[in-house]
Structure formats: structure tokens, C-alpha cells
Amino acid sequence: MYLGTLADPRGDVIQEIHYADNVKFDFVEISVEGPKYTLENLEPKVPEINRLKNELGLFFTCHTPWGWNIGNPYEKIRGATVGEVMKVIDFAESIEARLVTVHMHTRFGLYDKKEIIKNMAGSLSILCDRAEKSGIAITVENVDQGVDDMKALFELEPRAKFHLDIGHANLLCKDGSNIYAFIETFKDRLYHVHAHDNKGGHNVDGDLHLALGMGNIDWPKVVGSLKDAGYKETVTFEVFTRNRQYLETSRDIFKTLMGGWAEQD
């Protein structure tokens, strides 16, 4: 298993890569979002990013902005959003990133959820066509959905991979059941994980992105479930704090719980 950090989009991406290397993360996740991490700002740094990749032995994953909705019911807006994601795939290709994540948004005014999912599947087909040319996976991150919503999407576009955000899954329950259901149901499709903590139960302020152990998620049970599922891919610690000790401690807690069962091949 590979353990990574999300590059802080408030900082400098080159400094973030050096930080990841200094504290022994395996990879860096680059979220292509403003104001500092727009493509216009990142693309001139591609040569330096690639030099560091080769020099330090790190690799990358990519993440699109939270608000981009590739299932938008307005066709022109949806098309424009897909166009922007295509540019992110181009960037990901230029740094040999392993995956590009999009978010699953299924709430949009009075529109029916099934229509949004159908729209999203159509967009995913376009994105998967493009990404396959570069060997990049397109992963879909759960936001406030349950297992059935994700099933419906993957039935329409089976090439897409599942990106489990553990913290988001915890917002739909108070006992962790949604997390374990996601892992069990999609263990053959699971390709990327975000790890962070919160106090559970859905509310607008609940997505706290706390360090592991600061919320109510049962991390020994979560890591055990990933072990039972045979998961050995990438885990990004999406802990939002300016004190990086919380981020590093979260990684260390997770690594201790892993033991030796998920060492990289």
C-alpha cells in the first residue's frame, strides 16, 4: 500500500513535494484548484515536478475541484466541466499521475437523482476514453451517497474506479456501517482512498477533515476491513491542518494498524 499527502493548494507545489519526501510519504496528490493550483499556474512547473519525481522517487495522483459536477443537468455547463477535467487529464499525463478523481454530486435543485447519475455516467465515458490512452484511471469519490447510488453509476460506466472517502462515508452514519458497506461492495473496484476523521452523522458542518483518532471512526476496524478486502493501492491523508504533525501522526497511526500485511510488491 502507498501512503500519500494532499499538496496544500494554499502553498507552493514544489515545496509540497519536498515536504512529502522529507517526511517519507510515498506520493503526492495534487488537487488542481485555485487560486494557486490552477492549470495555468501548475503547467509551467511540470519540468520541475518531473525532475523531482525522478530524483526523489515519488509519484503523483490528481484531484479535481470539489465543486466541479460532471453530472450537471445543464448540458452546456456539463460539457464545459468535462472539458476542464480533460485538461486535468492532460496535466496528469504530463507528470505520469496514476489517477484523476472526480466527485459524485447527486443533489441539484428539483432534478431527479437518477437523471444526474445518468448524466455523470455519460461524462465518465468520455473521460475514460481519454484517460485509457495514457493508462490513467478515472476514480469517482463519494460525497454524500450510499452504496446504491454508486452501484447505479458503475453499472452505467463500469470502467470507472471507486475512490472511497472514509470521512465522507462516515457522515451518513454514526456507527461506521456505510464505510464497511462501501469497502465490501466495491472491493474489486476500489482504487484510491482518502483518510480523515470526523464525528459522524450528516450535517453541513460535519466534514471536518480531522486527524485520525480525533473523531468517532473506528480506525482499527476500517483498516481491518481494507485488509480483508485485499486493498493494496493508494491512501491519501486528507487532514486539513496547518500543523503537519497531525498529518504525519495520522499516517503513522494508519501504518501501525497496517502492520506488514500491505507492504508494496
Segment 225-252, tens digit of pLDDT: 999 999 999 999 999 988 999 999 999 9
* Enclosing domain of residue 146: 2-258
Q: Is residue 263 situated within a structural domain?
A: no
Q: Is residue 264 situated within a structural domain?
A: no
pLDDT band for 142, please (50, 70, 90 cuts): very high
Q: Is residue 117 situated within a structural domain?
A: yes
Q: Is residue 213 situated within a structural domain?
A: yes
Q: Is residue 233 situated within a structural domain?
A: yes
Count the domains in the chain: 1
CATH code where residue 98 lies:
3.20.20.150
pTM of the model: 0.95
User: pLDDT tens digits for 62-93?
Assistant: 999 999 999 999 999 999 999 999 999 999 99
Within 8 A by CB and 6+ apart from 59, the residues are: 2, 26, 27, 53, 96, 97, 98
Q: Is residue 58 situated within a structural domain?
A: yes
Q: Is residue 157 situated within a structural domain?
A: yes
User: pLDDT tens digits for 186-196?
Assistant: 999 999 999 99
Listed residue (11, 8, 25, 17) closest to 234, CA to CA = 25
Q: Is residue 265 situated within a structural domain?
A: no
